[in-house]
Amino acid sequence: MIKYCTVLADPPWPERGGGKIKRGANRHYELMTVKEILDFMKQIPVSENAHFYLWVTNNHLKDGLYIMESLGFRYVTNIVWVKTDKRLGLGQYFRGQHELCLFGVKGKLPYKRSEGPLRSKTSETTVIMAPRRRHSQKPDEIYRKIEATSYPPYLEVFARARREGWDAIGREVPGQALVNFS
């Protein structure tokens, strides 16, 4: 069985719009509770030395940190996606125009070193500037950052499409539902 060194997850957080009209994520796909997300993530075969990238909504930042810790990862930093288009995001006090991707490490997996005689560490930044796309579709730049910093084999959980060089699990991946690893 493959044990993944790098996992990227974009869970269907239990985000619901206010009132009787479906305005939140539940308008687009089936949501999961934090417990369901954690229980599912616990099934994934992860190497004892691994990197974890976890997209979180502002409302579920604490839940994301809880999930990361519960899976044995130590939170290190985050990547912020600044949405450059002019549409306002959701939010009651402030309209969100960014999303966070938490980054954690399990064990002692270092960053990937660049090729060549100097073999320096990556020079990736923590900011992605990109416009929104269809609901919940993340910018392609995140994959480039991950591939420059972290090691294969790569797994995207709660994926919406397949990507070359990555395994993908998700209800929106053609011909696949969420699976059990046991």
Q: What percent of the chain has pLDDT over 70?
A: 77
- Please tell me the distance from the alpha carbon of residue 6 to that of residue 153, in angstroms, as a whole number: 6
Token pair listed for 11: 């869970």
Q: Which fold has domain 4-169?
A: Rossmann fold (3.40.50)
- For residues 137 and 108, which has the higher predicted lDDT (pLDDT)? 108
C-alpha 47/C-alpha 98 separation (Å) is 31
Looking at residue 171, its pLDDT comes to 73
- Cα–Cα nearest to 178, from 149, 163, 157, 155: 157
Give mean pLDDT, residues 151-177. Answer: 84
The residue ranges of every structural domain in the chain are 4-169
Residue 2 identity (one-letter amino acid): I
pLDDT tens figures, 62-97: 999 999 999 999 999 999 999 988 776 666 777 778
Return the residue matching tokens 């309209």: 95
CB 173 within 8 A of CB 160: yes
| Amino acid 43: pLDDT | 94
Q: Helix 34-41 crosses helix 61-70 at what angle (to 10 degrees)?
A: 30
What's the confidence (pLDDT) of residue 22?
47
One DSSP character per residue, 78-139 reads EEEEEE-SS-----SSS---EEEEEEEEETT--PPBPSSSS-PBP---SEEEE---STTPPP
Tokens of 50: 């691994």
What is the distance between the alpha carbons of residues 160 and 9, in angstroms, rounded to a whole number? 11
Look at residue 77 in the predicted model and tell me its pLDDT.
Answer: 96
Give the separation between CA 142 and CA 89, rounded to whole angstroms: 20
